[in-house]
Structure 1
Amino acid sequence: MIYAYSIAATLLAYLLGSLSFAVIVSKSLGLQDPRSYGSKNPGATNVLRSGSKVAAVTTLFLDGLKGWLPVVLVKWFGADYGLGDGTVAAVGLAAFLGHLYPVFFQFKGGKGVATAAGVLLGISWILGLATLLTWLIVAYFSRYSSLASLAAAVFAPLYYLFGDRAAWYVDKIILMAMVLISALLIYRHRENINKLLKGTESKLGAAKAQGKKPG
């Protein structure tokens, strides 16, 4: 019976992750489908290109929430059904995969940065905060959102290992799920990596800067 609960929780997490909030929020606000402009990526960064900060922030929050919610629900109530860290890892990974390959949107999803952050915050707020700070620091100094995301993806599993016996006890299954999430994040940023190497990647605030002419 425990396996049935675990499978059901994992499936529900995937379905929740499959809700592409970039598309849903944009349509609800009468905005253009984010898959039709910019990078064509259904994520908060591309939604911001629509000119609506409200839509972008809402997308960012909801994409993070759908990664955080399944994890914390299993942590809070899973013990009543015999669910442990293995299910925590499974639902976190499932929600992330749902965002990348959403069943409701022809399996064409976003890159998963916000959803991955939500999963990490669900596993441990300290782990999530450390990873978010890494993103902010790299983004601030480099002005590249993609580079910040790649750095956060690399450091997240390392932070989890470094925190063993200090902030938490490392679970091998959760670690494996985190490594897989990080690997998929890097894979989904492969075009950004090529642009970074060529020096053609857009910097944060570049669009605004282009609109200003020196006086």
Structure 2
Amino acid sequence: MPLIETSAALLIPWAVIGYLLGSIPSGILIARALGLGDLRSIGSGNIGATNVLRTGSKGAAAATLLLDAAKGAIAVLLARCLAGEDAAQLAGLMALIGHCFPVWLGFRGGKGMATFLGLMLALAWPIGVLCCATWLATALIARISSLSALVSACSAVLWMLVLGYWQMLVLGIVTAALILWRHRANIARLRAGTEPKIGAK
């Protein structure tokens, strides 16, 4: 069911709920709880799992990855259960926007990849699994997190076309565009050959 078929009055609450869930700064909360410092003053200053890994704590990075993914998945599953597929797509998109532009951090958030994977897994697990596999394959070959994210996000549109998930195509294009935009500095470093490898401090 396309997004436009559900009334705006029913969708608006799920947009707000999705955004607020996505805005929870998992990485910052975990880093503070474990005494790892303020992520915004470490490494790239990003609040995601890749930068948490730069603190030297693999456990904290894994927890951040899982919680950031859970934000997208929970938003989708709640909305689907209570309001249907249109609301689920919108809630997932807004969770991603919330992660990238959280109200609690002055709209300066993460780059969205873990939340993107979480919402894709919840919306259509075959697409989510293929996006995860694409990320992993790219990471194993190139060992660059940002490149893996870019390839994986863009591959979602391809997998939707191949598997016939036409109802998710607009969402796939919008989320891929957002992730590309959030990684624009990484793209510049990739072109210059200066983007750090996974695990680099």
Q: Which runs of 5+ in 1 are unaligned?
A: 208-215
Larger Cα Rg: Structure 1 or Structure 2? 1
Aligned to 2:33: 28
Question: 1:17 aligned to 19, 22, 40, which one?
Answer: 22
Q: Distance in 2 between matches of 1:159 and 1:103?
A: 32
- 1:113-167 deviation per Cα after TM superposition (whole angstroms, max 9, x unaligned): 0000001001111110100000111111111111111100111111012111xxx
RMSD: 1.6
Q: How does 1:60-139 map to 2 (within 5 A)?
A: 60-75=65-80, 77-78=81-82, 83-139=83-139
Question: 1:170 aligned to 160, 166, 172, which one?
Answer: 166
SS at match of 2:166: coil
Distance verdict in 2 for CA 1:112–1:148, change over 3 Å? same
Q: Which runs of 5+ in 2 are unaligned?
A: 1-5
- 1:165-184 deviation per Cα after TM superposition (whole angstroms, max 9, x unaligned): xxxx521xx32122111001
**TM-score, length of structure 1 as denominator length:** 0.86
Work out whether residues 23 and 98 of structure 2, in 8 Å CA contact, stay in contact via their aligned partners in 1: yes
Aligned to 1:182: 176
Aligned to 2:140: 140
Distance verdict in 2 for CA 1:15–1:141, change over 3 Å? same
Aligned to 1:194: 188
Work out whether residues 19 and 94 of structure 2, in 8 Å CA contact, stay in contact via their aligned partners in 1: yes
Runs of at least 4 residues off by over 3 Å = 1-5
Question: 1:57 aligned to 39, 62, 86, which one?
Answer: 62
SS at match of 1:31: coil
Q: Distance in 1 between matches of 2:107 and 2:136?
A: 30
